Amino acid sequence: MEVAELDYRAVRGSFAVPDDLEPLDRHPKATPPGEAMRYHHALCYGCGDDAVNGLHVVVTAGDGVTATATMRVAPWMEGGPGLIHGGILSAAFDEVMGTTALLIGVPVVTGHLEIDYARPIPIDSSLRFTADVLGRQRRKVYLSAAAHIVGDAGELPVGPVATSRALFIGIDPREHFAEHLANAQRPDEHQRWTKYSSP
């Protein structure tokens, strides 16, 4: 089978925050600071309580357009011996920032995500994330985040173990997810997001 060559000039991915950002407001109904942000469904790979193979990230709203999050690095997340797999960490950043964007009242999907891996992250670590909405332009929402290993006494070390930046794109969930709903593990749970009834 012939494999089409990827034209890298056509790849849109880049992270550059534009100069002419629109004013950013915390949505009046956003989760109050200090409370858990629970917007996804119970089987969400990133945050769902019922996702047996999930990350179980817990995101907590902060002040303004910021949030914090926690995740324990479980043994099944191993990549290099004794260390977290880099793709798992990127999924955690994706979840944290995609949820943080909801503070401005815009449901989003990831358009571009980039990670800098600064230090190895051991299995059994507790990670603490901080995330900020940097700005928006039309449907484009720009975020950054950092991860620290929480010490035994709950303290944070000086430098982050990883940092991330991402561009998320605002969507209408009813439109965006409609044609894929039949593949959901529990299609009935998504009725509030979709305008079509499940099969």
CB within 8 Å of 62: residues ≥ 6 apart: 33, 68, 130
- Least distance between ligand 3VV and beta carbon 1 (Å): 25
Candidate segments 35-43, 57-65, 70-78, 80-88, binder of ligand 3VV by CB under 6 A: 35-43
**Which of 107, 117, 128, 149 contacts ligand 3VV by CB under 6 A?**
107
**Which of 136, 140, 148, 165 contacts ligand 3VV by CB under 6 A?**
140
Cβ-proximal residue to ligand 3VV, closest one: 98
Report the site for ligand 3VV in 46-105 (rule: CB under 6 A): 46, 94-95, 98-99
Structure token pair of residue 39: 């917007």
Inter-CA distances, 77 with 54, 113, 149, 155, Å:
10, 20, 15, 23
Candidate segments 37-45, 68-76, 80-88, 123-131, binder of ligand 3VV by CB under 6 A: 37-45
User: Looking at beta carbons, which pairs linking 156-160 to residues 24 or more positions away fall under 8 Å?
Assistant: 156/128, 159/118, 159/119, 160/118
Inter-CA distances, 5 with 1, 2, 61, 112, Å:
12, 9, 43, 21
Q: Please choose, from the candidates 91, 97, 63, 68, the residue with its C-alpha nearest in 3D space to the C-alpha of residue 165.
A: 97
- Least distance between ligand 3VV and beta carbon 171 (Å): 5
Candidate segments 78-86, 127-135, 153-161, 163-171, binder of ligand 3VV by CB under 6 A: 163-171
**Is 138 an interacting residue with respect to ligand 3VV (CB under 6 A)?**
yes
The rounded distance, in Å, linking the Cα atoms of 24 and 131 is 15
CB within 8 Å of 176: residues ≥ 6 apart: 109
**Is 195 an interacting residue with respect to ligand 3VV (CB under 6 A)?**
no
Residues forming the site for ligand 3VV (CB under 6 A): 12-14, 39-41, 46, 94-95, 98-99, 107-112, 138-140, 167, 169, 171, 173, 177, 190, 193
